[in-house]
Structure 1
Amino acid sequence: MWSRVLGPGVVGRTALCWRSLYTMQLKTGEFQSLFTDGLNGLVEIFGKHKHELRIAGGAVRDLLSGKRPEDVDFATTATPEEMKLMFQMAGIRMINNKGEKHGTITARLHNENFEVTTLRVDVETDGRHAEVEFTTDWLKDAERRDLTINSMFLGLDGTLYDYFKGYEDLQNRKVRFVGSAEQRIQEDYLRILRYFRFYGRVALEPGDHEPETLTAIRENGHGLAAISGERIWVELKKMVVGNHAAHLLELMYRLKLAQYIGLPPGGDVEVMKQVWQNAKDHSPKPMTVLAALFHCPKEVDKMDFRLKVSREEKNLALFLVKHRRELCKSRDEPHSSKPFTDFIIDSRELDSQAKVCELLKYQGEEKLLAELSRWSIPRFPVSGHDLRRMGVVSGKEIGATLQNLRDIWKTSRYQMDKEELLSYVKP
C-alpha cells in the first residue's frame, strides 16, 4: 500500500493486487457538489439497509476529468425487489420503472430523480440485446461494460474502484474496450459507434487507434446492419459534432461501415473534410456535416429510411444539398449578405434563417454567418388591405403589385417604409 499527491482534488491512491483492482480517493469540488439533500437521503437509505451504492459509468469518467456530470447513474448490490421495499418503507416515491426487468429503479427524493441499477452479468447476448442476471460482484458488472473508461465505479466516500485501468486510459487519453474488443463488439454491435463517439470525446490525436481494435471493427461491422436506425442515429449524431469528426467519418468509410448505417457508400469524404474544417468552430448541426457526403436528394431519402431522423433534420439535409451551389454570394458583391437575406425574406418557412446559417457554416462564410446570426428579419410594411384602400381590388392585381413592391423593398435593402413603397402604386 502506498500513496502520493496526484494533483488538485486527489488525496492519494492505493494499489491493491486483488483482481487487478485499482483505487484512489477523489475529493474534488465537482464530486462534493453532487451531495444534495436528495443524494444524502439516498445514501442514508442504502446505508441503513447495508447495501452498497456507487456512482457508475460516464459520471465517474466526467468527475475524474474535472467535470460535473449532467446525469449520474448509480449501481448497487441491492436487487430491484429489495430497493422497492427500502423505498416503500422510507415513504419514497418510485417513478417510471419500465427498466425494472433490467434491474433499474428510479426513486424521487427532494424533487430529484435517482436512477439506481442492480449489478448485472450478461447471461446471453445476440449482438443487439442482452439477457441479464443480477449479481453482487462489482467486477462481473464491470466486465460486461463496453470501454475501460466507462467501467469504473465511485463510492460515495470518494473511493474509485477501477478493474481495467480505466483511470490510466483516461489520463493517457486512450479509448480501449474492456478485455477483448471482438467479444465486446459481438455482444452489442452498437459499441462500434460508441467507440468512435468516445474517441472523439477523449483522444487528443485523430489517429491514435490500436490496430487490433480497428481490425475487430472492420471484421464485425456487418453486425451494425441488425441495429435499429434510431439507436445508430443517437450515437452517430453525437460523434459528428465531437472532436476528430472528419477523421472518424473517413475512418468509418475505410472500415466499410457506411453501407450499414445509412450513409451513402460513395460519400464525398474529401468535401466532408473541408466542410468540417469550415464549420467545426461554429457548433454545426450534425446534418450540416453529414450533408457533404450526399450527392443528391435520393441519398438523403435512403439515409432517412435507415436512420429515422427527425423531419427537421431531414429537411436541413435536403436544403443543404439543394442550395449549397444554387444559393451563392452575389458576383457583383462578393461579400454581400443580400442573396441570403433575400432568400430568407422570400421563404415561407419559419426556420429559413437557421437553415441559411447552417449553409454559411457549410460554406465557411464566417463573416456572413456572424452578420446573419445577428440579423432580425424585417417585416414587409405593405399589406393587401393597404392596396385595397388605394383602389386595387382584383386579387390577381393585388398579388402582382405586392410582389413588385416586395422586389423594390428588397432592392432598398429593406429600408423603404410603407409610404415610400405605396408611392409606386398607380391605382
Structure 2
Amino acid sequence: MWGRVFVNPLVTGRVHLLWNRRRLFTMQVKTKEFQSLFTDGLNSIAELFEKNHFELRIAGGAVRDLLSGKRPDDVDFATTATPNEMKGMFQAAGVRMINNKGEKHGTITARIHNENFEVTTLRVDIQTDGRHAEVEFTTDWKKDAERRDLTINSMFFGLDGTLYDYFNGYEDLKNCKVRFVGSPVARIQEDYLRILRYFRFYGRVAGQAGQHELETLQAIRENAQGLASISGERIWVELKKTLVGNHAAHLVELMYELGMAQYMGLPVEGNVAELMRVWQQAHGWSPKPMTILSALFRSSAEVDRLDLRLKISREEKNLGLFLVKHRRELVKSEDEPDSIKPFTDFIIDCRETDAQSKMCELLKYQGEERLLGRMQTWDIPRFPVSGHDLRRMGITSGKEIGLILQNLRDVWKDSRYQMDKEELLNNVVRS
C-alpha cells in the first residue's frame, strides 16, 4: 500500500515515502545536517557493522533533531548485534571500548578516530516496576521502537538516510504533537518519569499551550502518585528543562491541576499565579530554572523542602533563597526609577562572587528589562582604600580602621563609585 508523497518544509533533500504492509513509514532524506555526521569515525564504525552483517541505525533524539533541520549534539545508535557480538567485532578490529558500565543495559561505547560511539542492542521490556526495566535483546526494530516513550523519540535513521517510523512520529513532529507510543497508561506505568518527559517535550515541540489529548491527561492524573517513587535527581533534570522551555507557566499550572506537585517536592499551595506572571515577563531573557520556579515559593522553608526532595545544587538552592528573600525588599528607587544604584550598592556590600549573577536573575524575576541590560554590562568597581592605607596615616586601632573603612565605603557609594583613593583619604583627614 503506497502513501502520499510530501516534503517536510523543515527538511531539504531527496524524499521518498511509502507504507509497507507492517505500516512502517519510511522516507529517505539526505540533508546537509545528516551528511555532516559522517566523520571518519562514523564511516569506520559503519563499515565494521556492515562487514559483520549487523544493521546499525541512528536512534532517538538525534533523529528528531535531524528531521527538525538541526544537527544533533549527541548521536545514539541502535543495532541488531548483541553486546558480546559487538565486543568480539571491536576487539577483532582493534577498536578500543570504554564505559563498560553500560553493557548490562546493552550499550557498548567504542572509541575510534578520537570519537566515542554509543551503540545499544535492540531491546524489549520483559518486566517493569515504574522505575527500572528488565530487558532482553531482540533483532526486531519495531519491538524496540514500541518500548520507547514518545512517538517523536521512537524513530530510526538508517545510515543511507532512510527514516524508519513505526508509530507516526514523523507526522506528529510535523504537526507539533506530543503523544505516547501506544497506550499512555502502559508507557507511564513502565517508568513514571515519562510523565515529566511528556511535559518537557511538550515545551520543546508543541506549537501552542493547552493542545493535549484528553486520554494523555487522564493517564497522567491517574498515575501521578507514581512520581513519588522516582528519585529527586531524575525529577529535577526533567523539571529544569521544562522550566526553560516553551509554555513553562502553562505546564506548571497543569502539574498542579493533575495532582503531580505534591509528589515532586513542589509546594502544595504553590503560588502558580505569581509563577505565570514571572514567566510571562522573563522567559525571553533566558532565566535560570530556579528563577522561574522560585515564584512558587511563599517562604524560604519551601525552598528547603524542595532541596530535600530533589537534591538541587547548592548554587540553585542559594539562588532560590536569595530571590525569595529579596524579590520584594530589593527594588528600584521610586526617586530614580532608571538607576541601578540600589542593586549595585547591594553587590558592593555583600561582596559575594556570584552576587551580580544573582542580581541579574532578580531583575529578570521583577521584569526590569532596562535595568537588567545595564546590570549585565556593569563592571564591578574596586573599592580603592584598604586598611593598609589607613595604617600608613597612623591609624592603628583595628576597630577604628573598620569604622572608617565603612564610612568611606558609604561616601564612595554616594559618589556613584567615582571618588578615587586620594579623594577618599582626604575625607578622612578632614574628619
TM-score normalised by the chain length of structure 2 = 0.98
Partner of 1:170: 173
Q: Residue in 2 aligned with 1:107?
A: 110
Alpha-carbon RMSD: 1.0
- Partner amino acid, structure 1, of 2:294: A
**Contact 1:3/1:12 (<8 A) preserved:** no
CA contact (8 A) 1:59 1:72 kept: yes
What is the CA deviation profile of residues 327-348 of structure 1, one whole-angstrom value per residue up to 9, with x for unaligned ones? 1111221221000000011113
CA apart distance, 1:15: 1.9
1:73-97, Cα deviation, whole Å (9 max, x unpaired): 0000000001011111111111112
Q: Which residue of 2 aligns with 1:44?
A: 47
Q: 2:385 aligns with which of 376, 382, 404?
A: 382
* Structure 1 consecutive aligned stretches of length 4 or more whose deviation exceeds 6 Å: none
Q: Give 5+ residue unaligned stretches, structure 1.
A: none
Aligned residue for 2:417, secondary structure, equals: coil
Aligned residue in 2 for 1:419: 422
**Is 1:62 the counterpart of 2:59 in the alignment?**
no
Contact 1:316–1:355 (8 Å) recurs in 2: yes
Aligned counterpart for 2:291 among listed residues 288, 292, 307: 288
Distance 1:323 1:119, change over 3 A: same
In structure 2, what is the Cα distance between the partners aligned to 1:404 and 1:313? 34
Q: Is the 8 A contact 1:3 1:13 kept in 2?
A: no
Find the partner of 1:29 among 28, 32, 36. Answer: 32
Correspondence 1:249-328 to 2 at 5 A: 249-328=252-331
Q: Decide which of 218, 237, 242 is 2:245's aligned counterpart.
A: 242
1:2 CA drift (Å)? 6.2
Partner of residue 95 from structure 1, selected from 98, 122, 126: 98
The SS at the match of 2:427 is coil
Cα offset, 1:9, TM superposition: 2.2
Alignment pair present for 1:400 and 2:403: yes
> Matched residues in 2 for 1:3 and 1:363: separation?
51
- Report the count of equivalent residues: 427
Q: 2:76 is matched with which residue?
A: 73
1:15-41 deviation per Cα after TM superposition (whole angstroms, max 9, x unaligned): 223321000001111000000111111
**Match of residue 9 from structure 1:** 12
8 A contact 1:5–1:11 mirrored in 2: no
Give the counterpart letter for 1:388 in structure 2. R
- Pair 1:366-2:359 in alignment: no
Give 2:22's aligned amino acid. Answer: R
Q: Which amino acid aligns with 1:184?
A: R
Within 5 A, what are the aligned runs for 1:349-364? 349-364=352-367
CA distance in 2, matches of 1:412, 1:348: 19
CA contact (8 A) 2:58 2:75 kept: yes
Equivalent residue, structure 1, for 2:139? 136
Alpha-carbon deviation of 1:279?
1.0
What is the SS of the residue equivalent to 1:106? strand
Contact kept, 8 Å, 2:270 with 2:296, in 1: the verdict is yes
AA of the residue aligned to 2:19: L
Q: Describe how 1:186-265 pairs up with structure 2 within 5 A.
A: 186-265=189-268
Is contact 1:125-1:188 (8 Å) kept? yes
Percent identity between the aligned chains?
74
- 1:343 alignment counterpart: 346
For the 8 Å contact 1:288–1:320, the answer to whether it is kept is yes
Residues in 2 aligned to 1:5 and 1:125: alpha-carbon distance in whole angstroms: 39
**CA–CA distance in structure 2, aligned partners of residues 191 and 97 of structure 1:** 26
- TM-score w.r.t. the length of structure 1 is 0.99
From 149, 163, 166, give the equivalent of 1:146.
Answer: 149
Which blocks of at least 5 consecutive residues in structure 2 are unaligned? none
Listed one character per residue, the Cα deviations across residues 197-239 of structure 1 (whole Å, up to 9, x for unaligned) are: 0000000010100001000000000000000000000000000
Shift of 1:277: 1.1
- C-alpha distance in 1 between matches for 2:334 and 2:268: 35
Quick one: distance in 2 between partners of 1:312 and 1:19?
A: 51
